[in-house]
Amino acid sequence: MTISDVAAVAAPVSDVAALAAPVSDVAATRRLRGADQTPERASSPRHYAMTAPTFFAVEYAINPWMDTTTAVDTHVAMNQWETLRQTYKELGHTVELVEPVAGLPDMVYAANGGLLVNGKAVAARFAYPQRAGESVAYAEWMARHGFDPVETRHLNEGQGDLLVVGSIVLAGYGFRTERQAHAEIAALVGMPLVSLELVDPRFYHLDTALAVLDDTTIAYYPPAFSDEACAQLLELFPDAIEAASADAYVLGLNAVSDGLNVVFPSAATGFAEQLREAGFRPIGVDLSELLKGGGSIKCCTLEVHP
Ligand code: ARG
């Protein structure tokens, strides 16, 4: 497979094949940079939305990280979340707040609220009924911010499974987002999309096993993906960082990058070293309380892409 086969990889997305041209630019940029030299990294200002963990709790278990018998300290969760918000602000990013809703304990995981890119807004359609109310709350927020959120017919859990890398979307399926939603989403946002199968229930969302570091660079944990997905990632991102199990199992890949600064779960110390070697600036934040719900940095961050 070559980069020009992205259209073929995204087979169900035949109507966006014509849009695949920018993908080859991504490949060209990567080739120019050369494989063995550490590229110059640069940050760009980002626009995020976050939801405070006011009502955070582990009241049900819909992923292997959640255990309803574990005590959750909302006060600790709030302090950790606040540190994350301050970190973004200190980096110069815009952080907007979404009003938390009582009775929606997972709403703190704002990434799942939808996909905002290219001036388009895709509302989430959650796999579990416990989270259904969140799509309404996030769609209302989007509408208030000038977007016109569109629903998909098939399940999609927003940026949990839909990650923008430069001019393409990497899309996970296997646990939450349905593969059939991928074609809908590619058509809605007008971008080529690569479908990647997730195979390990601990890594039930794409953003638990793959981090976007800049427009051409990712980090990922290969065992979380099917053989086919691994082959696709290897072709598309030959210089990707492959994370080790110890880092993946503290959700180290659930990170947010501005192109230079990578805000990552501080327990993932090996990943931090890999990031540094690749020319990034790792900034560790501890979200241990929110890990009890099966999420970390990226899960708590909905990026409003330009
Ligand atoms: N408890 C939530 C769930 O299982 C966690 C969501 C984490 N979010 C994410 N973007 N991975 O749905």
pLDDT tens profile 17-49: 333 334 444 444 444 455 557 789 999 999 999
**Comparing 175 with 31, which gets the higher pLDDT?**
175
The C-alpha atoms of residue 124 and residue 115 are separated, in whole angstroms, by 8
Ligand 1 pocket: which residues have CB below 6 Å?
62-63, 66, 106, 109, 111-112, 131, 160, 205, 207-208, 293-295, 299
Q: Is 158 helix (H, G, I), strand (E, B) or coil?
A: helix
Residue with tokens 């900034």: 283
Run of H or E including 143: helix 132-144
Q: What's the pLDDT score for residue 161? A: 98
Q: How many residues does the chain have?
A: 306
Mean pLDDT along residues 251-270: 98
Higher pLDDT, 295 or 1: 295
pLDDT at 35: 52
Q: What is the mean pLDDT of residues 53-67?
A: 97
pLDDT at 13 over 80: no
Best of 55, 63, 109 for a ligand 1 pocket test (most atoms within 8 Å of beta carbon): 109
Residue tagged active-site, from 93, 182, 205, 300: 205
CB proximity list for 184: less than 8 A, separation 6 or greater: 152, 153, 154, 156
Mean pLDDT score across all residues of the chain: 91
Cα of 203 vs centre of ligand 1, distance in Å, is: 10
- Cα–Cα distance measured from residue 111 to residue 49, given in angstroms and rounded to the nearest whole number: 8
pLDDT exceeds cutoff 70 at 2? no
The whole-number pLDDT of residue 39 equals 82
Between CA 68 and CA 65 the distance in angstroms is: 10
DSSP element (H, E) containing 9: helix 6-9
Nearest 5°: phi and psi at 291?
-65, -25
Domains and CATH numbers, the chain: 43-303 (3.75.10.10)
| Token pair belonging to 124 | 């989430």
Q: Which of 299, 300, 303 has most ligand 1 atoms within 8 Å of its beta carbon, as the pocket-test mutant?
A: 299
pLDDT tens sequence across 105-128:
999 999 999 999 999 999 999 999
If phi > 0 it is left, if psi is from -120 to 50 it is alpha, else beta; for residue 92 that is: left
For residue 275, is pLDDT > 60?
yes
Record the tokens describing residue 35, joined without a space.
């494989």
pLDDT at 84 over 50: yes
Nearest CA owner, ligand 1 atom 7 = 295
305 assigned to active site: no
Rounded Cα gap, residues 276 and 209, in angstroms: 19
What distance in Å separates the CA atoms of residue 170 and residue 26, rounded to the nearest whole number?
14
- Give catalytic status of residue 300 as yes or no: no
Q: What sign results for the dihedral spanned by CA atoms 239, 258, 290, 107?
A: negative
Predicted structure pTM score: 0.90
Question: What percent of the chain is predicted at pLDDT more than 70?
Answer: 88
Judged against a pLDDT cut of 50, whether residue 298 lies above it is answered with yes
The residue whose C-alpha atom lies closest to atom 1 belonging to ligand 1 is 293
Ligand 1 atom having least distance to the Cα of 111: 10
Structure tokens at 222: 């290969």
What pLDDT score does 148 carry?
97
293: CA distance to ligand 1 center in Å?
A: 7
Helix (H, G, I), strand (E, B) or coil at 280: coil
Ligand 1 atom at minimal distance to the Cα of residue 204: 11
